[in-house]
Each structure stands twice: as structure tokens, then as C-alpha cells.
Amino acid sequence: MFVLLSKFEFSMKFKIDPKIMFQNIIDFEYYPNFMKQIQNVKIIKKSENEIITEETIILKSLIKKEIVQQTIHQIKENKIHSEIISGIAKNSIIDIILDKSEEETNVNVKIELKLGFKGRIFEPLIKKYLKMYVVGILRKINTRILEKN
């Protein structure tokens, strides 16, 4: 049984075209270059509207925990719906929606963190790292795009 522990959302603004931002967000295999805690991202299956990935993530605080999970990413125009389908955060959902406003792209992120019994002891750590990863990856994508141009 899974327990919904946290629901949170945030948004960020970038001076980048949403299509370019979106293409970089779905470049999942590049994520280990953004965060050292993301050890590996492997594409398991890929189609036009869906990508299944397997991620290996290292969480460190007083203890070190390696998490291997799989995620289904449903790709729509300017929207990514990601559901973790294995691991301690199984059934957790991350929605990323990009909206263009004037000369900026608004990136809206909604997260539903669900953890099973084993994962509950890591909840504060997972919640902290999850937001840190998403914010960090978006900022590094922004920097990567600006450096290319």
C-alpha cells in the first residue's frame, strides 16, 4: 500500500523558447551531466509520445542509499507527465508544463510524492532531493541552452 505523503508545486521563468526548453527537458540521458547524484539514466523504450527510463540515483545524508527506479514519461505538446513505476517512490507523479508569456517561458512543476512503507523513512530526504533535482536540472538546462547560443 502506498501513502500520499506530499503534494507540492512551484514554477520558474526562463528567457528561452519553450520548444527548445522542452527538447532539453526530455533529453533524459543527459541528466547525469547535470547532477552527480543521478548516476545513470537509461532509455528502456521510446516512442513518439512516451519514453520509459531507468534511473539510478544516490541519496546521501547520514547514510548512503542507491535507488533504481523506472519512470514512464508521457510526452504531449509542452507537457510531460512522468509516473515512477518501480522503486520506493512507485506511483509518484511529476507534471511539467511549459507556457510562453511574452519573452519568457514559464515552467510549472507539480509533484505528488508517494512512498511505500520502506520509503517512508527516507521521506524528508527524498522530498528535499526531488525538488532540488528538478530545480537544479531546469537551471542547468537553461545554462546549457544559453551557452550553445
45-95 pLDDT per residue, tens: 999 999 999 999 887 766 777 889 999 999 998 999 999 999 888 899 999
CB 57 within 8 A of CB 66: yes
The whole model's pTM is what?
0.87
11-49 pLDDT per residue, tens: 999 999 999 999 999 999 999 999 888 999 999 999 999
CA distances from 17 to 40, 41, 95, 100, 140 (A): 28, 25, 19, 8, 15
Q: Name the band, by pLDDT with cuts 50, 70 and 90, for residue 119.
A: low
